[in-house]
């Protein structure tokens, strides 16, 4: 049977609910020979700041038995070079493009968003208020009042839909999500990495130069799934689930607890074909269950 895989994220329309996550997919060109962008819903670019950032010193990636630690530190060329060097290729991609925006202050977030406003291919902005690998990177994402204010501040400078990427380290994740919705967010992206640590026991030194790093991969999936369930029950805007998603079954879990779409991140490093396989698997599951629209699965979980 024919299955409709299209989803509508509060006005942001995708051909299917599978996005490639910020950071992992770079700016699109890194995976253009490995991923068929015409078969996925879209990509979220690496975060873009007002000025270029060199990122953290190496080593800044460490593989673990069930995931990966990374402390890249938001390395990026800055908004002006992004528009001149990265946007031309993004304009050619046959899928939705969402730009991740980051800054040290509310004005910096808003300035980058305003410059993105003229880029027609950029269909939405994802505010990265949740990076654990830079100083004060999670400040806006930990406090409900700050989250509401920054969304309002950016909302005043752009016409594009705003997604808010949250940190799992907020004392009350649900409260922050509600505040972001109140501020004018179109959707919640949940969630960024957990802060972790790895040690070389021979030297007694950290495996990562930054000492701590963001932990992602299969091990965090149950944690991210629980947060997605809690937040999806508490807000009326769409939720986009992230956290250890590598298979169609993983994505189905997130859809069933309330996510309207998912993002695939760490799995890309192990298997670049994973996103396309997830899309195929979602279609096959729906056909087998005689479900004509994948959107019908959202919030179908019955505890």
Cβ neighbours of 233 (radius 10 Å): 12
Considering only CA atoms, which of 16, 8, 24 is closest in space to residue 192?
A: 24
Paired residues of 53 in beta bridges: 76
Cα separation of 206 and 199, whole Å? 4
In the set 24, 95, 131, 191, the catalytic residue is 131
Cα separation of 213 and 6, whole Å? 35
DSSP 37: G
DSSP-derived 3-state class of residue 4: strand
DSSP 161: -
| Backbone torsions φ then ψ of 173, nearest 5 degrees | -60, -40
Cα separation of 268 and 20, whole Å? 8
Non-local CB neighbours of 183 within 8 Å, separated by 6+ positions: 147, 148, 149, 150, 151, 152, 155
CA distances from 27 to 8, 82, 88, 93, 222 (A): 23, 9, 11, 11, 28
24 is catalytic: no
Considering only CA atoms, which of 52, 24, 71 is closest in space to residue 112?
A: 52
Cα separation of 254 and 17, whole Å? 11
H/E stretch holding 106 reads helix 106-116
Owner of token pair 């760490």: 266
Name the residues annotated as catalytic: 131
């Amino acid at each position: 049977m024919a299955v409709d895989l299209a989803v509508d994220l509060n006005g942001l329309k995708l051909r299917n609910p599978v996005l490639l996550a910020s950071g992992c997919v770079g700016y699109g060109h890194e995976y253009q020979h490995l991923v068929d962008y015409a078969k996925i819903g879209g990509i979220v670019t690496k975060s873009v700041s007002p000025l270029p950032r060199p990122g953290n010193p190496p080593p800044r990636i460490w593989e673990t038995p069930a995931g990966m630690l990374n402390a890249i530190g938001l390395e990026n060329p800055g908004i002006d070079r992004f528009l001149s060097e990265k946007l031309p290729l993004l304009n050619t991609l046959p899928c939705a493009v969402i730009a991740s925006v980051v800054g040290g202050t509310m004005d910096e977030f808003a300035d980058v968003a305003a410059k993105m406003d003229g880029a027609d291919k950029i269909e939405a902005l994802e505010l990265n208020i949740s990076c654990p690998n830079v100083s004060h990177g999670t400040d806006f994402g930990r406090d409900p009042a700050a989250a509401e204010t920054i969304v309002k501040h950016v909302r005043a400078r752009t016409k594009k839909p705003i997604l808010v990427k949250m940190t799992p380290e907020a004392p009350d994740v649900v409260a922050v999500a509600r505040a972001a919705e109140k501020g004018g967010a179109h959707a919640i992206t949940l969630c960024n990495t957990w802060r972790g640590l790895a040690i070389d026991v021979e030297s007694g030194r950290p495996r990562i130069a930054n000492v701590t790093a963001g932990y992602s991969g299969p091990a965090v999936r149950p944690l991210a799934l629980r947060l997605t369930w809690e937040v999806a029950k508490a807000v009326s805007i769409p939720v986009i689930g992230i956290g250890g998603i590598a298979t169609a079954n993983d994505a189905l879990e997130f859809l069933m607890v309330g996510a309207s779409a998912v993002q695939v991140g760490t799995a890309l490093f192990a298997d670049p074909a994973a996103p396309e396989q997830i899309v195929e698997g979602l279609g096959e599951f729906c056909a087998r269950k005689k479900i004509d629209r994948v959107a019908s699965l959202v919030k179908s979980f019955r505890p």
